[in-house]
């Protein structure tokens, strides 16, 4: 839907802009000449065109608005809604976030070709990207592995061996430090999830673990030349995980995110709604039951 909306915005901007331009260059001078001739014949002074054609008038009014929205949404910031719990506790269902579109390069809104290099993802960034298996769908996950890294996921623990270009004194595979926080704030499948703080070096963030559910390595994406739970991140690609580790379909299952699929960096929650209606309620389930004002702010 987001892709179609971008195409509609581009089309409306081009159409209204062309109508305004063609009228200014071709038809407006002719109208002006006719009015001036009529005023001269009547011995009156010439005035401005009192009434523009409806299509031209409408285009002149909406073109600046649509062009502003197109520039804002395509190159600066775009709003997204969180539809699932795969990024809990960082992001909850009903959070509305802002994604910084220029964090990883300025791209054209139609073909998504990178026009200007502005940066690359860092470990710990929460990123929105086009789902590699179905690019029409937007996903949001956290960057865990950078190009050249070795990532291992074993017994609910992430291990990382950073890229080493020199071949000498290279860092060894190390477990990402975890600190237990609490249990019971979040419940899934009748089980109280365990909350930990994960330290990725430059970023500390919270994750959730299911106390019983264990993802089988046979379900993981298998990279040629590695073990079933080990991945070596190719150049120009990224390994991403959901913060709700036992309820997230991420790089463990389908592989890596190419740089070309990156949409932007999630930087803030601008509003958050609760949706707790049942199908039997009088109001539709998409009508909010409350607002979580305390959740507004930056994303970490």
* CATH number of residue 112's parent domain: 2.10.109.10
Is 280 an active-site residue?
no
Annotation marks residue 86 as catalytic: yes
Q: Which residues, at least 6 apart from 104, have a Cβ–Cβ distance to it below 8 Å?
A: 118, 119, 120, 121, 127, 259, 262, 264, 265
Same domain for 103 and 66: no
Is the domain of 59 the same as that of 151? no
Instruction: Indicate if 159 and 208 belong to the same structural domain.
Output: yes
Per-position pLDDT tens, the chain of length 300? 455 666 777 788 889 889 889 888 888 888 788 777 776 776 655 555 567 888 888 888 888 888 887 777 778 899 999 999 999 999 999 999 999 999 999 988 777 888 899 999 999 999 999 999 999 899 999 999 999 999 999 999 999 999 988 777 888 899 999 999 999 899 988 899 999 999 999 899 999 999 988 788 888 998 888 888 999 999 999 999 999 999 999 999 999 999 999 999 999 999 999 988 777 788 887 778 889 999 999 998
Task: Give the H or E element holding residue 31.
Answer: helix 28-41
End-to-end CA distance of the chain: give it in Å, rounded. Answer: 27
What's the CA gap between 229 and 217, in Å, rounded? Answer: 6
68, 93: one domain: no
Residues 112 and 252 in one domain: yes
Question: Annotated catalytic residue: which of 101, 107, 130, 141?
Answer: 141
Catalytic choice (6, 74, 86, 272): 86
- Indicate the pairing of strand 126-130 with strand 262-274: antiparallel
Sheet architecture: strand order including 178-188: 178-188, 191-199, 204-209
- Enter the pTM of the model: 0.82
Structural domain of 67: 2-75
Spatial distance between the Cα atoms of 255 and 240, rounded to a whole number of angstroms: 9
d(CA 222, CA 150): 14
């Amino acid at each position: 839907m987001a892709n179609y909306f971008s195409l509609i915005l581009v089309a409306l901007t081009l159409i209204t802009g062309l109508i305004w331009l063609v009228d200014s260059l071709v038809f407006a001078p002719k109208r002006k000449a006719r009015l001036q001739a009529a005023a001269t014949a009547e011995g009156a002074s010439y005035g401005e065109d009192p009434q523009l054609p409806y299509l031209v008038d409408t285009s002149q009014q909406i073109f600046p608005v649509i062009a502003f929205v197109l520039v804002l949404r395509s190159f600066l910031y775009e709003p997204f809604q969180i539809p699932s719990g795969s990024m809990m506790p960082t992001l909850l269902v009903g959070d509305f976030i802002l994604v910084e579109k220029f964090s990883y390069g300025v791209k054209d809104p139609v073909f998504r070709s990178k026009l200007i290099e502005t940066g690359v993802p860092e470990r710990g960034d929460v990123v929105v990207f086009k789902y590699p298996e179905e690019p029409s769908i937007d996903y949001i996950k956290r960057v865990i592995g950078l190009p050249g890294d070795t990532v291992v996921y074993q017994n609910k623990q992430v291990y990382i061996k950073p890229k080493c270009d020199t071949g000498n004194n290279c860092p060894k595979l190390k477990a990402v430090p975890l600190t237990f926080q609490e249990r019971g704030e979040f419940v899934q499948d009748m089980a109280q999830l365990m909350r930990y703080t994960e330290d990725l070096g430059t970023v500390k963030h919270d994750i959730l673990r299911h106390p019983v559910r264990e993802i089988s390595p046979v379900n993981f994406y298998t990279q040629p030349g590695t073990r079933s739970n080990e991945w070596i991140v190719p150049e120009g690609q990224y390994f991403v995980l959901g913060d709700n580790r036992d309820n997230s379909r991420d790089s463990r299952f389908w592989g890596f995110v190419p740089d070309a699929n990156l949409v932007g960096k999630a930087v803030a929650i601008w509003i958050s709604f609760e949706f707790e209606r049942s199908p039997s309620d009088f109001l539709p389930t998409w009508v909010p039951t409350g607002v979580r004002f305390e959740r507004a702010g930056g994303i970490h």
